[in-house]
A and B are shown apart, each in its own frame.
Chain A
Amino acid sequence: MGGCFSDVRGGKDAVGGALPRPTEPNAKNDGAHNDAIEFFYREHGAYPLFTQLELSFSASKLLDLDVTSKSDPMVVVYLKKNDGKLEELGRTEVILNNLNPVWIQKVSVAYQFEMVQNLIFRVYDVDTQYHNVPVKTLNLRDQEFLGEGSCVLSEIVTKQNRSLTLTLKGKNGHGGLRNFGTLTVHAEETIASRSAVEIKFRCAHLDNKDLFSKSDPFLRISRTVETGGSIPICKTEVVDNNLNPTWKPLCLSMQQFGSKDTPLVIECFDFNSDGNHVLIGKLQKSVADLEKLFKEKSGVNFFIPSSRADHEKVLKGQLFVDQFCEREQFSFVDYISSGFELNFMVAVDFTGSNGDPRKPESMHYIDPYGRLNSYQQAITEVGQVIQFYDADKSFPAWGFGGRTANGTVSHCFNLNGNASESEVVGVEGIMAAYANALRNVALSGPTLFGQVVNRAAEIAARSLSSNNNKYYVLLIITDGILTDLQETKDALVRASNLPLSILIVGVGNADFRQMEILDADKGQRLESSTGRIATRDIVQFVPMRDVQSGQISVVQGLLEELPGQFLSYMRSMDIKPLTFNAAAQASTA
């Protein structure tokens, strides 16, 4: 039951400012801000009734569950839904050996004014290795539970200093005799910004705080908050045994540091594996000041606040900025409004598991009184989104798993019955082609996505010859169980480095666990049978029953991962929005 293990290597990792792998969606720096959804609502005249918030956490007097060291705490945030189910919203990082931690990693949540949002916070002591492991893949069953707190989001927001301190309780809500400690949650609005800076720090002549060796320094950067106090935004990795260290470059978004003039507190600590890091020195500079340090190639001295009232001891140790570079991180809407096009394609499941279309229980039953079946509902609801984003409203539409007029089962036939052209116009076109296909195609099987994915990949690849401002989205509407998971994985892996995303919409009540494997959100990259691994996660899965029960809107479900997948492609290929290029060319002409 549990252990005394503390992952010291994990404790030395940088947090909050690392440069991600080029093909990974840079979700952390974007603060999970989904401007695609906001844009959709705004253009329809509905201003979104929510604000994006970031929650930061600190705790005190946590339980010590590690035998030879202290607990290594991490917070997991859940939203309690109407049916009592918990939906995980995010996690902080793991802090080494600390019963009074101040976490750096923030959790984003949309504060919806008209809803009561019940949040549950659980603190865990991480006993497994977490060095270089994405926090979201840590299995909570392997960790030890330290305490739980809950509140309604509006309670935090309506406090004057936007902070709420909760007393942690045991698993069933009882305090019991044990003192679990307290958790403080602070909420702040996120500002969507596309500026980011990349800074490389170096120090010289740091004081030695270790007895038999040299200090192991790392920097922690915090931002001062309006309501007083400061919130940490990132920390560098630890450099062992070095009084003149250089750290890996940090990438900070304006969301993290506020503005170029916001004062930042930079503290230099000596790392100790027992969690009691010793402060070597601190200083206060804004990003604009750091830029000046870079340009003048000068250093600034650290100081130690002294016990005497306003006297600070100036230290020999200095901070230098060896690299400073501003970059722009364009948002999804920046690309779309500059002329990038999303092109949608639709594929409909014609397998026998849907049931005989002549019977009312079938998912393909066309009701004579006009009530839409599951597929028609999905097409209509999804259609409003894709019509909005697809400029020419002309969609290739296919069916799979059906027996066509010539007697053979096809896993990619044109829905409109046309032998050569697969395109239909508008959502009405898809509906008409669908109804038409039901009359001419017999439901069959098995359920295979591979061919449809390959066809979509072919279209996306062909488009690259003429330009690079198109991005393709394949919508697969299915009732569920895949017959050949590996074949689908192979097709997805092959398509993973193309400008393509796959949205799988599940209708009906089947067990969609397989689909969740394909939507590699838990961190497991898809692997093909030939040993190739998916370059990026291009799949997203939306179960229609979540939409119909009102848990999420279809817009939200579909557009949740799409901007991230789109941006990961554009950024890795170094493709910028069109207006940016035009301006650059004009200036050099």
Chain B
Amino acid sequence: MAANSRTLEIKVISAENLKLDRKSVKKNASVTVRTDTNSQFCTTDIDTEGGAYPRWNEKLVLDLPTHSKSIIVEVHCKTSSGVRTIGTATVPASDFVGEYVPEGYLHFLSYRLRNHKGERNGIINISVRMKVPEMYACASSTTWSHSTMGFPAAGNKSFGGGVVTGVPVWYGAYQKNY
């Protein structure tokens, strides 16, 4: 059964050195992530404290159609005169769908943001994981540590060491069609 879309878990972690009109951003930055086919988009909360170095650590979920080639990450700033786009980055699907890397691998990625004039304007840090359809998940007895998704923002280890979600470690018959 060929799914016509895959689920992506995108954690928007932080951004660095954001400027608006050549001046460092003071506050209220947020990030929108959307597919290149514009079929879906998600937005983070506004960061009020980080200024030009905001941190969100927010997980967004997007359905990526199989024919989609990339996702677009836009950083906005809410100013008194409205919402302005600080910069955009294009994340090609090939960066998180590697030929050799297993499905479900947590990819930490960073990109250069460019503003509408094409000038460099900061860096965006994200992590991307493709959610694997449940029927292919197999919790085999290997040394893979079943970690919590993403990483704890405030080390609250109240999980008790239980297995949370099956992350496929070995998938003999599954063939990728990319």
A584 CA to B112 CA in the complex, in Å?
A: 40
A325 to B156, Cβ gap below 8 A?
yes
Q: Does A531 reach chain B (CB closer than 8 Å)?
A: yes
Q: Would you call B109 and A497 a contact (CB within 8 A)?
A: yes
How far does the Cβ of A536 sit from chain B's closest Cβ, in whole Å?
8
Supposing A327-B157, A584-B161, A588-B160 touch, asked if A531 and B145 sit within 8 A by C-beta, the answer is no
A275 touches B (CB below 8 Å)? no
Query: Within 8 Å CB of B170, what residues of A?
Result: 465-466
Residue of A nearest to B113 (CB): A531
Residues of A with C-beta under 8 A to B178:
none
> Which stretch (A106-114, A353-361, A364-372, A569-577) binds chain B?
A569-577
Contact A464 B102 (CB under 8 A): yes
Chain B, interface residues (CB within 8 Å), range:
35 or more
B143 in complex: contacting residue of A9, A530, A578, CB < 8 Å: A578
Indicate if B3 sits at the interface (CB-CB under 8 A): no
Max chain B Cβ within 10 angstroms of own Cβ: one of A458, A532, A576, A578: A532
- Docked-complex contact A467 and B157, CB < 8 angstroms: no
Chain B 18-42, CB-CB to A under 8 Å as 1, else 0, gives 0000000000000000000000000
Asked if A534 lies at the interface with its beta carbon under 8 angstroms from chain B, I say yes
Main SS class of interface, B: loop
Q: Indicate if A132 sits at the interface (CB-CB under 8 A).
A: yes
The interface residues of chain B lying within 8 Å CB-to-CB of A469 are 143
B154 close to A323 (CB less than 8 A): yes
Note all chain B residues with C-beta closer than 8 A to A530: 92
Min CB distance A345 to B, Å, is 15
Contact A535 B92 (CB under 8 A): no
> Is the beta-carbon distance between B144 and A585 smaller than 8 angstroms?
no
Contacting residues, chain A, for B135 (C-beta < 8 A): none
Given contacts A325-B154, A497-B108, A531-B111, contact A574 B123 (CB under 8 A): no
Say yes or no: A23 contacts B108, CB within 8 Å: yes
Docked complex Cα distance between A468 and B108 (Å): 16
Instruction: Note all chain A residues with C-beta closer than 8 A to B98.
Output: 461
Mark interface residues in B85-123 (1 if CB within 8 Å of A CB, else 0): 000011010010011111001111111101000000001
In the complex the two chains form, is B156's CB within 8 Å of A464's CB? no
Residues of chain B within 8 A (CB-CB) of A587 are: 161
In the assembled complex, the Cα of A534 lies from the Cα of B95 at a distance in Å of: 12
Q: Measured between alpha carbons, how far is A9 from B17 in the docked complex, in Å?
A: 14
Distance A9 CA – B52 CA, assembled complex (angstroms): 12
The reply to whether B142 and A467 form a contact with Cβ atoms under 8 Å apart is yes
A375-408 at interface with B (beta carbon < 8 Å): none
**Nearest A residue (CB) for B50:** A132
Decide if the interface of chain A is mainly helix, strand, loop or mixed: loop
Name the A residues within 8 Å of B14 (CB-CB): 21
A574 to B147, Cβ gap below 8 A? yes
- Interface residue? A533 (CB, 8 A): yes
Contacts known (A458-B100, A462-B100); A132 close to B53, Cβ less than 8 A: yes
Closest chain B residue to A534, Cβ basis:
B110
Q: What's the nearest-Cβ distance from chain B to residue A25, in Å? A: 14
Asked whether, in the complex, the Cβ of A574 is within 8 Å of the Cβ of B109, the reply is: no
In the bound complex, do residue B95 and residue A532 qualify as a contact, i.e. CB atoms below 8 Å apart? yes
CB of A181 within 8 Å of the partner chain? no
Contact with B along A545-589 (1 / 0, CB 8 A): 000000000000000000000000000111110100100110110
| Residue B13 lies at the interface, judged by CB distance under 8 Å to chain A | yes
Inter-chain CA distance A9–B148, complex, in Å, is: 35
In the assembled complex, the Cα of A532 lies from the Cα of B73 at a distance in Å of 12
B125 at the interface (CB under 8 A from A): yes
Cα distance, A360 to B42, chains bound together (Å): 65
Give complex CA distance A132, B53 in Å.
8
Q: How far is the CA of A525 from the CA of B143 in the complex (A)?
A: 32
- Min CB distance, A566 to chain B, in Å? 15
Whether the pair B52, A588 counts as a contact (CB closer than 8 A) is no
List A residues at the B interface (Cβ < 8 Å): 9, 21-23, 132, 198, 200, 249, 323, 325, 327, 339, 458, 461-462, 464-469, 497-498, 525, 527, 530-536, 572-576, 578, 581, 584-585, 587-588
Query: What would 13 A/B residue contacts be, using CB atoms closer than 8 Å?
Result: A21-B13, A22-B108, A198-B154, A323-B154, A467-B143, A527-B112, A531-B111, A532-B111, A533-B110, A533-B123, A535-B108, A574-B152, A588-B162
**20 additional contacts (CB under 8 A) given A132-B52, A200-B154, A581-B143:** A21-B14, A198-B154, A325-B155, A327-B157, A458-B99, A461-B98, A464-B100, A464-B101, A467-B144, A469-B143, A498-B101, A525-B110, A527-B112, A531-B90, A533-B111, A535-B109, A572-B108, A573-B106, A575-B145, A584-B161
Complex A-B, nearest 5 residue pairs according to Cβ-Cβ distance, in ascending order? A461-B100, A574-B147, A584-B161, A533-B110, A461-B101
